[in-house]
A and B are shown apart, each in its own frame.
Chain A
Amino acid sequence: MSSSTIMNIFRFILLLALQVIIFSRLNLFGFLNPYPYILFILLYPVNGNKAGLLLSSFLLGLMVDMFTDSGGVHATACVTLAYLRPTFFKFSFGLSYEYQTVKINERLSPERFSFILISIVTHHLILYLLEVFKFSGILLVLTRTLFTTIFTLILSIIIIYLIKPGKQ
């Protein structure tokens, strides 16, 4: 096993544990729960195995669903985000992203910020659409997506800076 595989497994377990033990129980202002566990999908190596990313994202979402009794909403949102990730890379970093060594856990540039933001918005929008699951709740979906996105974004950036590898 290469070191990046081990790093990924470690990240998977750590982010899942943080999510279910701390972040899913925060209930800030009575309804706000951030979901920074999707950092696993964002930090997955750019040139890594695509099937591996899809499968591990599905598993990650399913585990969060299991812990929070939410059916399959996290699994759906995670799989979709994992599938759309290359598109978001292209959108944020330009067409030739695969030939550069893009590492999003380095200095926060506008490209990296837009990539993180668009990923979080996509994930949260799918998540709340499926969780509320009725057309009359569309306003609820939008407000929750907005507030949770802000919260997740701040936490994600903090976490990226905290777990940044020491070697420079």
Chain B
Amino acid sequence: MQQIFNFLFKNSILLLFLLLLGVSLTLTIQSHSYHRSRAVTSANAISGYVYEQVNTVEEYLSLKEQNEALAGENARLKKMLFNTQDTVNAPEVKIPLAMGQFAVIQSKVIRNSYSAPENYFTINSGIKEGIKPDMGVVSSLGVVGIVENVSNGYATVLSVLNPKFELNAKIKKNNHFGTLTWNGKNTGFAQLIDVPRLATVRKGDTIVTGAESRIFPENIPIGTIDKVYMDKKTNYYTLEVRLFNDMTSLGHVYIIENKDRDEIIKLEEETTNSNNEQ
């Protein structure tokens, strides 16, 4: 017994080091393994408060660009409104049906990250505003991420610029589906993989969110095709997509809640389970 104590006492620094190393390595490996697995995130009162204070100062530097982006979005929405075929009758029937499934919450990016191999950013709304994990985040230009961790007043968002980000997307013109991912190289581009070979793809075609996504509504813009590669092994196309969003400067964003998400997932699970039993 005495010897054990002696050993522990002599090597206390080494043991403390190994303990702390074990804890921090566990945290690191966990964060690399799957979604929402990080134990320490910036979605908490301390870092949220600090970033909010820093953001209030920084905001003044980009006021002009933010205003222009919002005015541009207004113009686009007005154009859609003015071009509806019958502005008196149509909205009454159509809007409740189309809007019913999705709720939109306005929010602001208070910390952005784009230079790390796995990027997350922080927004200044949380449980209080009704944010939940796995809600979609879009800016006025298109998709930017998916909510990951939520605290009372803040949330962290899995950025498009993260290899963990996967989204069902399609070519707007011909409805061919693929999966949007990021290869970690360039902040201006994402990759659309597994596009079937019989799809006609051309440089400049628009990529939008697909109908299979349970998080985003269909037809939210993502980017345009910049380059087309053929994957030799699988005979699928890999498309280099130039993102509409400049991910290095994000300001106001909208959080989209798909109210039918749980229902869809439950239904799909039941279907696969009953299929397995047969």
Contacts and interface: CB of A to CB of B under 8 A. Distances in A.
Chain A contact residues: helix, strand, loop or mixed: helix
A121 interface: no
A66 B47 contact: yes
B32 A75 contact: no
B113 A71 contact: no
A71 B42 contact: no
Interface string A113-126: 00000000000000
Nearest to B148: A69
A68 interface: yes
A121 B227 CA distance: 38
Contact of A50 (B13, B41, B111, B116): B13
B271 interface: no
Interface string A124-151: 0000001111000100100000000000
B115 interface: yes
**Candidate in B24, B28, B51 with the most chain A CB atoms within 10 angstroms:** B24
B106 interface: no
B114 interface: yes
B24 A58 contact: yes
B13 A67 contact: no
A80 interface: yes
B50 A76 contact: no
B115 A72 contact: no
**Candidate in B20, B23, B26, B31 with the most chain A CB atoms within 10 angstroms:** B20
Given A50-B13, A54-B13, A69-B113, A80 B40 contact: no
Contacts of A51: 12-13, 16
A62 interface: yes
Given A21-B50, A79-B17, A62 B115 contact: no
A66 B40 contact: yes
A139 to B, nearest CB: 12
A61 B32 CA distance: 17
A4 interface: no
B75 interface: no
Nearest to B25: A76
Interface in A1-53: 20-21, 25, 27, 30-33, 50-51
B156 interface: yes
B40 A72 contact: yes
B27 A72 contact: yes
26 contacts: A20-B50, A25-B111, A27-B114, A51-B16, A54-B16, A55-B20, A58-B24, A62-B24, A66-B44, A67-B42, A67-B47, A67-B51, A68-B113, A69-B41, A70-B31, A71-B27, A71-B28, A72-B23, A72-B26, A72-B27, A76-B21, A79-B21, A82-B17, A83-B13, A131-B118, A137-B184
